[in-house]
Amino acid sequence: MSTTKPIETFAPTPENSEPLKEYIAASFQNRVPSLLDFMLNHKSITQLARYLVAYTSQSPNTLYNYGFGLKLYCDFAEKNPDELVSECFNNGDGIADPKAIARTVNLLEDFVCHLKTKKLAPGTVVCYVRATRTFYRANGIVVNLPHPLPRQTITSGRSPTPDELQHLVDMADLREKVIISLLALSGFRVGTLSKLQYKHVKHDLEAGIVPIHVHIESNITKGKYGEYDTFIGKEGAEYLKAYLNQRRRGTPKVPPETIDDKSPLIRSVFAETPKRGIEPLSSVAISRIVSRLYVRTGLTERLSHRHELVTHSLRKFFRTQLGACIPSDYVEYMMGHKGSVYNDIRSKGIEFLRGLYAGAGLSLKPRTTLSELDTLKTLIRSWGKDPEAYLSKEAMNLPHRACIGPSDIEDWQTNGLRKYLRELIRNDKGG
């Protein structure tokens, strides 16, 4: 529970604190400006920002979430962050006081009890406690609770059904249709969607190529672990094209806009400023729009504390629907997950992935039920193979096979194509 690590990092304010303050401001000024003073006016918070910049992905979302937890903790302790840090040391000599550390552990346990009385989800409690422990560690103090905190799931989220998704689209305005379709048909994270620019879709959109290929750079992904590729289906492409044309024409409330490579794919409706230009729609605003649309369509209740359907549910729709048609490794790649076959999938090339995505027939509308035979043919075509040629070849190899009626022929074709598809998947993974 204690440490002898000196506090050199806490005593002076870092000389390069300006970039850190910019990082703090970027995390809060467009979300909760009221927390900016709390985050900017304490040396210990600057140390936390430096720790996150140096040792993590520098995500503004991380500091944003940590800021909420820290503010609750400081309000509970009735002390500011610098006071909480300084009281853990002996007379400013830079050596942590074991007794003070023990008192801090007790305070943190009381804070956990306080959070639970507010009926917060176990995961939320864990996140706020983690924020507090990271804050102490960044300032040279190690604080460990004596027992692990439970993190059971209270509400299990789910993906919307095709009928529910269609209802959402029917009730949405044009910008909302773009948001829903890009999240559901492309599997974007909200944070990634908010950072997309026109350059990401320009080539295929202007050339009329569908599905539209979108290359996602690692610097706009969660964790910045690696780049990946995904696609926008026909419906999403149509909504996006109409939305961009509307922005070019302008509306009674929003003046006409010149779209260039750096234009945000989804913009804020607020007027641009000379200094900042046109603002992209933030991830918080996107989540708020989707949540309000759920309420408007009656899929969730406004007063409910937790919902099964949230913004992330649209990403689950992408995984569920696409995963029913193509191998899961390809779905994970198109969602930005860096698995064991990441490099193998990248090496297949964009056109192979485009054909795989197109063959799956991902749509916002409920699908017309296909027979198993038709589904197998669609999947085999997505591999660039001709199922009819394979069946003809198999038929030539069995010239004396007797088929009594149409159902026998269909069964033979289904069994043959099922075997052929397994061979394609096996060879693909092996190669």
User: pLDDT tens, 89-117?
Assistant: 876 667 788 888 999 999 999 999 999 99
Upper half-sphere CA count for residue 348 (Cβ side, 13 Å): 24
192 and 252 together in one domain = yes
Q: Looking at the structure, tell me whether residues 403 and 260 fall in a common domain.
A: no
Using pLDDT thresholds of 50, 70 and 90, give the confidence band for residue 2.
Answer: very low
How many whole angstroms separate alpha carbon 103 and alpha carbon 67? 22
Mean pLDDT of 387-408: 59
User: In which element (H, E) is residue 232 found?
Assistant: strand 228-232
Q: CB atoms < 10 A from the CB of 341, how many?
A: 16
Q: What pLDDT is attached to residue 427?
A: 78
90 found inside a domain = yes
Whether residue 211 sits in one domain with residue 75: no
Q: Does 6 or 132 have the greater pLDDT score? A: 132
Residue listed under structure tokens 């035979």 = 373
Compute the mean pLDDT over every residue in the chain, rounded to the nearest whole number: 83
User: Please, which pLDDT band fits residue 398 given cuts at 50, 70 and 90?
Assistant: low
For residues 123 and 167, membership in a common domain is answered with: no
Q: Which one has a higher pLDDT value, 301 or 84? A: 84
211 cis-preceded (ω within 30 degrees of 0) = yes
CA distance 387 to 413: 10
Same structural domain for residues 124 and 223? no
Is residue 123 pLDDT above 80, yes or no? yes
Measuring CA to CA, which residue among 403, 62, 327, 357 is closest to residue 209? 357
Percent share of the chain, pLDDT over 70: 85
Q: Is 105 found in the same domain as 195?
A: no
Residue 153 lies in a domain: no
φ, ψ at 156 (rounded to 5°): -90, 115
Q: What is the DSSP letter of 368?
A: P
* 353: in domain: no
Predicted local confidence at residue 168, as pLDDT: 93
Residue 395 has pLDDT above 80, yes or no: no
Look up residue 234 and give its amino acid.
K
CB contact at 8 A, 115 and 128 = yes
CA dist 332 and 353 (Å) reads 12
Q: Can you tell me whether residue 78 is helix, strand or coil?
A: coil
Q: Does position 153 have pLDDT exceeding 80, yes or no?
A: no
Residue 29 reports pLDDT greater than 70: no
Residue 364 lies in a domain: no
Angle at 191 between CA 41 and CA 234, to 5 degrees: 160
Of 68-77, 249-258, 343-352, the least confident:
249-258
Domain count, the chain: 3
404 vs 414, higher pLDDT: 414
Question: Quick one: pLDDT band at residue 397, thresholds 50, 70, 90?
Answer: low
* Of 12 and 334, the one with more pLDDT: 334
Say what the pLDDT of residue 13 is: 47
Tell me the H-state helices in 78-230: 81-86, 98-117, 122-138, 162-171, 174-186, 190-195, 202-207
| Final residue before a domain boundary, out of 138, 171, 188 | 138
Mark whether 192 and 306 lie in a shared domain. Answer: yes
Alpha-carbon dihedral of residues 20, 26, 27, 29, nearest 10 degrees? 120
Residue 373 pLDDT > 80:
no
Mean per-residue pLDDT, 263-280: 74
Burial of 37 (0-12, 13-18, 19+ CB in 10 A): exposed
pLDDT higher than 80, residue 339:
yes
Does residue 245 carry a pLDDT above 80? yes
Rounded CA separation 283/271 (Å): 18
pLDDT band for position 399 (50/70/90)?
very low
CA atoms within 13 A on the CB side of 287: 13
Kindly state whether residue 357 falls inside one of the protein's structural domains: no
* 181 and 60 belong to one structural domain: no
Q: Which residues are CB-neighbours of 62 under 8 A, at least 6 positions away? A: 52, 56
Q: What is the mean pLDDT of residues 185-191?
A: 94
Chain segment 201-244, per-residue pLDDT in tens: 999 999 999 999 999 999 888 878 889 999 999 999 999 999 99
Among candidates 287, 260, 282, 258, which has minimal Cα distance to 270?
Answer: 282
pLDDT at 273 (0 to 100)? 52
Give the CATH number, domain containing residue 208.
1.10.443.10
Domain residues for the domain of 114 are 17-138
